Chains A and B, each alone.
Chain A
Amino acid sequence: MTQRVLVAALVMVLAGVGCGLTEKATPFAMTINHSSFGMGEMKFEAGDIVRFTVTNADPIDHELIIGDQRVQDLHEKGTEAEHGSVPGEISIPAGETRTTVYKFDEAGTLFFACHLPGHFAYGMHGDIIVKEIA
């Protein structure tokens, strides 16, 4: 019984955190066209919570993967077909729009990319510069 209560409490806390993230998130819209994100660099501040809304205007599928080099390497070699449950990782089917919320915890350089076969090499990637809070 105690276990159930703890689990329920944990779920509520996590849900609350999730809702909080979404509510505080700054909207950021992107459109993918001709297999291009349309930008080579994004800039945020440490602590920023960003709600990425990505529209895929192409007739082919794409994805947006946000993370450090390790994350990018993992996805470039990986075979996971669908993304959506991990913050900063979404699949965007042809002609559709998807959202993901990501919190930039620390200052540094991250990357965004599409790792579907051949897409990274075609140029679907860029840098994310996360600065210290001014």
Chain B
Amino acid sequence: MTRRLMTVLSMVTMMVLVGGPAFACGGLVNPNGSVSLVKTTTLAAYADGVEHYVTSFEFAGGGAEFGSIVPLPGIPSKVVRAGDWTLQRLVQEVQPPILFKAARTSAGAAEDSAQVILETRIDALDITILKGGGDEVGVWAKDNGFALTPDAPEILDYYASRSPIFMAARFDPAAAEELGQSLGDGTPIHLVIPTPQPWVPLRILTLGLGEDARVDADVFLLTETKPSLLPAPDKAMRLDRSEAASDFLLSDLRSDKGMKWLPANMWLSYLKLDGPVGEFNHDLAIDASGVGRPSPVAAGLRLPLKLPQLPPTQSSLAWPWAIAAGLGFFLFKASTAVLDR
């Protein structure tokens, strides 16, 4: 009990004292607003055929809104506020913080538009889950005030050909002010996504970046066995950690809000993404089944033979699920850093 308390206290202390690293798994789609997106923090977890997606959005300030689009491998059954330290604890696992180093700066759509499956607000974030082709999602985004960058049509089509499900997130500065949120505060989001084939969206990290920009991201995977990855790790996607997750890490993660479902034994993989935009024209497919054959379609290296068949949506509260037997689980967090020309 004392150990648990100390762990939580140390993590809370870390969150207050240490500036978190930059994470992102969504593409910034409103670059012209007066709010500049500092970072988008995202994690996903996969167990028993259900993906648990944890994303945190942070912003720099201003009076306008910003938006972010995240492609998803399936339709989420639940979108709720996530726990407060899961992301930070994973970072701590691979990058032990220096506590004294620095103080934290501060803690109506068109007919041919996408189908809105779910709308919810979490703190000051308006979350919309969309189903549709690249053009439909693009039209929805345009109609809803998102300023899409010129690479957006191709990237949206790229994802829609495999999974026509997207999450659009937009921060409402007025709501943040009412909630007393400070600049740089993050809002963690937890999505529960039944899917037989998880993948990590990497190409979306390049959305809105020039060809001379670089992607700087971290990806965590936790699987029941050592996973097979496609593409295989290389210089731009370096496998920095591959080991059995410690009981200490899993216990810490399990103690966060909404994380009790974590299995007992996991294999931890940590990938460091660091390379030019051109190196990330694919996603990351994970085969955690032990068969050792990650899908080239899930990796975005090959188009599917036919469009994915998703269950029909009847209402935002009643979704049918086809949940395949899950064999693994993964968590990831990712970040982007733009280096202007």
Residues of A within 8 A of B (CB): 33-35, 57-61, 94-95, 116-119, 121-122, 124
- A-B pair number, CB within 8 angstroms: 49
Please tell me if the beta carbons of A95 and B150 are within 8 angstroms of each other in the complex: no
Q: Give chain B nearest CB distance to A35 CB in angstroms.
A: 4
Q: How far is the CA of A119 from the CA of B210 in the complex (A)?
A: 11
Chain B residues in 8 Å Cβ range of A57: 135
User: Quick one: given A59-B134, A60-B138, A60-B142, are A34 and B32 in contact (CB under 8 Å)?
Assistant: no
Cross-interface CB contact of A95 among B32, B139, B208, cutoff 8 Å: B139
Cross-interface CB contact of B139 among A34, A59, A122, A124, cutoff 8 Å: A59
Main secondary structure of the interface of B (DSSP, over half): helix
Please tell me if the beta carbons of A34 and B149 are within 8 angstroms of each other in the complex: no
User: Quick one: given A58-B138, A95-B139, are A34 and B153 in contact (CB under 8 Å)?
Assistant: yes
Please tell me if the beta carbons of A117 and B154 are within 8 angstroms of each other in the complex: no
Count of interface residues, chain B, beta-carbon cutoff 8 Å: 22
Chain A residues in 8 Å Cβ range of B142: 59-61, 94
User: What 0/1 readout, one digit per residue, does chain B (16-32) give for beta carbons within 8 Å of chain A?
Assistant: 00000000000000011
Does B243 lie at the interface of the complex (its beta carbon under 8 Å from any beta carbon of A)? no
Please tell me if the beta carbons of B150 and A124 are within 8 angstroms of each other in the complex: yes
User: Quick one: given A59-B134, A117-B32, are A35 and B150 in contact (CB under 8 Å)?
Assistant: yes
Please tell me if the beta carbons of A35 and B153 are within 8 angstroms of each other in the complex: yes
Please tell me if the beta carbons of B148 and A59 are within 8 angstroms of each other in the complex: yes
Chain A residues in 8 Å Cβ range of B210: 121
Q: How far is the CA of A124 from the CA of B210 in the complex (A)?
A: 13
List 17 A–B pairs whose Cβ atoms lie within 8 Å, in order of A's numbering: A33-B153, A35-B154, A58-B135, A59-B134, A59-B148, A59-B152, A59-B153, A59-B156, A60-B138, A60-B148, A61-B142, A94-B138, A94-B142, A118-B31, A118-B149, A118-B150, A119-B150
